[in-house]
Amino acid sequence: MATRDKICISGVRCKVRLGVPERERRRPQLIEIDAVLESDIRPAAKNDDFKAAVDYQNAERTVRSLAEGRPRRLVETLAEEIAQALLRCDSRVFAATIRVHKRPAAMPRTREVCVEIRRSRRRAARGMD
């Protein structure tokens, strides 16, 4: 089995229109997204070669672009779309774990709701993990 090193991109702040009630989607709200990309980093590390490394700046741009691109009702939908996009954007990424943190407007006494999913390349083509 291949080495599954992890690259963690934490706390990507995005202004999104997200929520089940329409009134919650009217104004952008701040959420945070974490992405953990599983890859074999040995080729890049061995030669100190950024060309052999996963481009995590591009991964961050992908996360932000998807999150801020259009309104959604479900945090789950956003997490799934981000995971699939990150698997497509770099063939060296074996799997992606996405965590979306949201302060729930409908639950004012709850600090946050967090959805976490993990999708792998092997099963990404079938749409499951």
Domains of the chain, CATH where assigned: 5-124 (3.30.1130.10)
Residue 31's pLDDT band, with cuts at 50, 70 and 90, is very high
* Residues classed as catalytic: 102
- Please state, as a whole number, how many other Cβ atoms lie within 10 Å of the Cβ of residue 32: 17
Report how far residue 68's alpha carbon sits from residue 108's, in angstroms, rounded to the nearest whole number.
Answer: 23
- What CA–CA distances, in Å, run from 98 to 21, 35, 69, 106, 121? 24, 5, 17, 23, 14
The answer, yes or no, to whether residue 18 has pLDDT greater than 80, is: yes
Q: Does residue 16 surpass a pLDDT of 50?
A: yes
Evaluate if residue 43 carries a pLDDT over 70. Answer: yes
pLDDT per residue as tens digits for the range 52-101: 999 999 999 999 999 999 999 999 999 999 999 999 999 999 999 999 99
